[in-house]
Amino acid sequence: MNFEKYMTRRVKPLKASGIREMFKLMAAPAVISLAGGSPDPELFPTEFLSEIAAEILKNDGKKALAYGTTDGYAPLKEELKKRTEAISSFDKEDKIIITTGAQQAIDLVARTVVEDCDDVVVEAPSFVGTLNSLRSVRANLIGVSMENDGMNMEELEGVLKNNKVKLIYTIPNFQNPAGITMSLAKRQRLLELAKKYDCLILEDNPYGDLRFAGEAVPTVKSLDKEGRVIYVGSLSKILSPGLRIGYLVCRSELCDKIEIVKQVNDVHTPCLTQMMAAEFLKRYDVSAHIKKACEVYGEKCRFMLECMEKYFPKSVSWTKTEGGLFILVSCPDSIDAAALSVEAIKKYKVAFVPCNNFATDMSAKTSSFRLNYSTMPKEKIEEGIKAIGMLLKEKLNKQ
Amino acid sequence: MNFEKYMTRRVKPLKASGIREMFKLMAAPAVISLAGGSPDPELFPTEFLSEIAAEILKNDGKKALAYGTTDGYAPLKEELKKRTEAISSFDKEDKIIITTGAQQAIDLVARTVVEDCDDVVVEAPSFVGTLNSLRSVRANLIGVSMENDGMNMEELEGVLKNNKVKLIYTIPNFQNPAGITMSLAKRQRLLELAKKYDCLILEDNPYGDLRFAGEAVPTVKSLDKEGRVIYVGSLSKILSPGLRIGYLVCRSELCDKIEIVKQVNDVHTPCLTQMMAAEFLKRYDVSAHIKKACEVYGEKCRFMLECMEKYFPKSVSWTKTEGGLFILVSCPDSIDAAALSVEAIKKYKVAFVPCNNFATDMSAKTSSFRLNYSTMPKEKIEEGIKAIGMLLKEKLNKQ
């Protein structure tokens, strides 16, 4: 049978995330992965979660195993509401929904507000999971280039003037893949422009807790008095990505509709993982846990930067991140980062992600790539950076 | 702000499932719920799962808490492949994907093969979760009426002749809400017609294990040599609905695309719940567990039927189910089942689901309703049926 003819226009052009495909290669133990976006597994509170899971199932097993409500387990909603208030803001007209990872939150928003050929602004480059989700609802993606303090606002206004943009997607803190944080002035400008051109903003903040340098900047949501911002958070980077706990906060009128779409999508997020997350937020020393994670990532980031200074050719530059998990490396135009990444895996078993994966046009050639410093131990980071440096020098010397 | 204008045509007409809304009412402890579709919580293997969860997190915590692959945890895929082979069939060209409940499997199929105005055949009545999922991709739903041995095949052929149907959705075993099982002859005819008119079949089999009377009938998938059937299974009814473990099996060409849509949707189903399900299938005495469940549901079903004979007016009839969780009750046309259900909750705190929830046109008046016998203890079943009987007699005597 030929299944192609049954497939919708929505899914026909969809390709698997290059990173998820790389994930399969990375499963080989010898691979040095600077490609992922995972927190350091050494930081998982496995012992605590082991005890908590047993306790929940023993004392409250019927609740943990029965159907739950679509909007999420009430005590977890309460804890995440408090967290949102602490990190960002929670308006009295806001509601919260627990999702199966932040990816589902983003996907639900895409399904709810974006349809065929709607113009959507994304940072260029941006997170592949969101780009693919938006592609799957046939959005017209418009990239706005990134500067060291976030989106280029003149370029953004030009785009908004010349198109009917419905949604602007941004990761203001330690952006994926650029590692860049949007300045306060630009956050304010972003909101002004969204108001002027009547767009919604999707603020994705998975890395916000992981600041190891510089000063915190208020979230876009906390600057928003109208309800224009849909805020997405995640426990993937501070607790565990495998538990798949994300959430979204927005005005109830919109949130109620998103809840119906979630009902259609998976009825509800598993109860047990939600109950575990609630106990983690209630009973674990979360501040100390995050502080520890920031120390570890700060140290690993500094070490990776030192290695890059040491091993990378001088014509290569990179972004300065103050938190999160990523550094973006820019090479001279002659470098084809996609080809380089294939060679790095084959020759040295070193994995990283070329930036075509983060582009609105994935077929365009790119000379940039993303490095992750959170998952590997130091000796592997050095080995990996050294190998990439050798490859780069080889390529650049040949010319 | 007015959010209505941002919402897509897909989601604007979507309404929350009446059953999920009722679920909120049912949370009150005094309510006698004959409305749900849950297994009996007394059957949950809570102690086993408590030990298993602790063990997994203790010995294999890093795997349970890290990102997993989109298609699912390999040992669970292996176990579910074996189960599919035992219950149905698993072709060498088939693949399996683990989903966050069977609802996600159905929703992924809808997103992958159905788009604006595609004709989709559903049984009339049918499962509201699937109807809403299909509505959310703007399918044109065409209901084909149910007989005591499944869909009316003459009616189906008429529909296929006069429309361009892409997909036929069926629950052949102990259908939700009708409790009806499709005969072997009709399953074969369904496949013939799907072949003749070139449609895919979505076979949803959440209740297949729960047969307490009569003889098993082969799945539609097991009769299919071409790969026309997409088979959806679930552990919700035999293990736990709250763990949200579903799966789908179909030809790899289609499955690979569905996997990409899942990646976009939630990256992957939580690892811990998948690992728990794998251990349940490997180490628990699943056959004995299912046998026990069938005994319990068979006994409760017989008891409910006895109560109905005793308390319901003679002009009311119902379907004879051989398994699963539901009985469909048909009243004289003068009864408005939706109004009746509201009165039953208000007057007697008894909940059941009127059949407009299961109709392609939810606004149409209905004189039928669905009863569930799996969740309540016997004394509550009797109390509930007695109350509904009183209401019915009151209505019918008034005329």
pLDDT at A364: 86
Strand B119-124 to B140-147 pairing: parallel
Q: Is B188 helix (H, G, I), strand (E, B) or coil?
A: helix
Residue A271 and residue B62: Cβ atoms within 8 Å? no
| CB-CB neighbors (< 8 A) of A265 in chain B | 103-104, 107, 133, 265
Residues B82-98 have a mean pLDDT of: 96
Nearest to A113 among B6, B65, B272 (CB): B6
Given a contact cutoff of 8 angstroms between Cβ atoms, the answer to whether B279 and B52 are in contact is: yes
| CB-CB neighbors (< 8 A) of B11 in chain A | 111-112, 257, 260-261
Strand partners, A354: A369
pLDDT at A17: 72
Cβ-Cβ contacts under 8 Å for B272 (sequence gap 6 or more): A53, A242, A243, A272, A273, B53, B56, B57, B64, B65
pLDDT at B15: 84
- Residue among A70, A62, A71, A126 nearest A96 (CA): A71
Nearest to B103 among A111, A167, A266 (CB): A266
Residues B309-315 have a mean pLDDT of: 97
Global pTM reads 0.96
Cα within 13 Å of Cα(A217), Cβ side: 22
* Among the ranges given (A252-261, B22-31, B274-283), the one the predictor scored with the smallest mean pLDDT: B22-31
Q: Tell me the C-alpha distance between B323 and B210, whole Å.
A: 5
Residues A98-106 have a mean pLDDT of: 98
ipTM: 0.96
Quote the minimal CA–CA distance from B397 to chain A in Å.
Answer: 39
**Does the pLDDT of residue B24 top 80, yes or no?**
no
Residues A107-136 have a mean pLDDT of: 96
Average pLDDT taken over every residue of chain B: 95
Q: pLDDT tens digits, residue range A313-327?
A: 999 999 989 999 999
Instruction: Name the residue in chain B with its Cα closest to that of A26.
Output: B69
Nearest to B62 among A17, A44, A68 (CB): A44
Residues A73-93 have a mean pLDDT of: 96
pLDDT at A36: 86
Residue A240 and residue B65: Cβ atoms within 8 Å? yes
Residues A206-226 have a mean pLDDT of: 97
With bands split at pLDDT 50, 70 and 90, how would you rate the model's confidence at B30?
confident
pLDDT at A241: 97
Report the number of secondary-structure helices (H) and strands (E) in chain A.
Answer: 13, 14
pLDDT at B180: 97
* Burial (CB count within 10 angstroms: exposed 0-12, middle 13-18, buried 19+), residue B259: buried
Chain A, 33-62: which have a CB under 8 Å from a chain B CB?
36, 38, 41, 44, 46-47, 49-51, 53-54, 57-58, 61-62
* Among the ranges given (A10-19, A239-248, A288-297, B368-377), the one the predictor scored with the smallest mean pLDDT: A10-19
Given a contact cutoff of 8 angstroms between Cβ atoms, the answer to whether A124 and B17 are in contact is: no
The pair of structure tokens assigned to B168 is: 């036929």
Q: Which amino acid is present at A85?
A: E
Q: Which amino acid is present at B182?
A: M
Residues B87-116 have a mean pLDDT of: 97
Residues B315-344 have a mean pLDDT of: 95
Q: Does B23 touch chain A (CB under 8 A)?
A: yes
Quote the minimal CA–CA distance from B36 to chain A in Å.
Answer: 10
Chain B, 94-123: which have a CB under 8 Å from a chain A CB?
99-101, 103-104, 107, 111-115
pLDDT at B1: 87
With bands split at pLDDT 50, 70 and 90, how would you rate the model's confidence at A27?
low
**Does the pLDDT of residue B102 top 70, yes or no?**
yes
| CB-CB neighbors (< 8 A) of A61 in chain B | 44, 46-47, 49-50
Q: Going edge to edge, which strands form the sheet with A165-170? A: A94-100, A245-251, A229-234, A200-204, A165-170, A119-124, A140-147, A150-151
Average pLDDT taken over every residue of chain A: 95
Residue B11 and residue A242: Cβ atoms within 8 Å? no
pLDDT at A228: 97
**Does the pLDDT of residue A21 top 90, yes or no?**
no
Residues B184-204 have a mean pLDDT of: 98
Mutate which of A264, A276, A374 to disrupt the B interface (most B C-beta within 10 Å)?
Answer: A264
Q: pLDDT tens digits, residue range B203-233?
A: 999 999 999 999 999 999 999 999 999 999 9
Chain B, 250-279: which have a CB under 8 Å from a chain A CB?
251, 253-254, 257, 259-261, 263-273
Q: Tell me the C-alpha distance between B184 and B172, whole Å.
A: 10
Q: pLDDT tens digits, residue range A143-202?
A: 999 999 999 999 999 999 999 999 999 999 999 999 999 999 999 999 999 999 999 999
Instruction: Name the residue in chain A with its Cα closest to that of B257.
Output: A11
Return the percentage of chain B with pLDDT > 90, whole number. 90
Nearest to A272 among B61, B63, B242 (CB): B242
Quote the minimal CA–CA distance from A135 to chain B in Å.
Answer: 9
pLDDT at B17: 72
Q: In 10 A of CB A213, how many CB atoms?
A: 12
Q: Does B398 touch chain A (CB under 8 A)?
A: no
Residues A86-113 have a mean pLDDT of: 97
Q: Tell me the C-alpha distance between A206 and A183, whole Å.
A: 17
Question: How far does CA B291 lie from the centroid of its chain?
Answer: 20
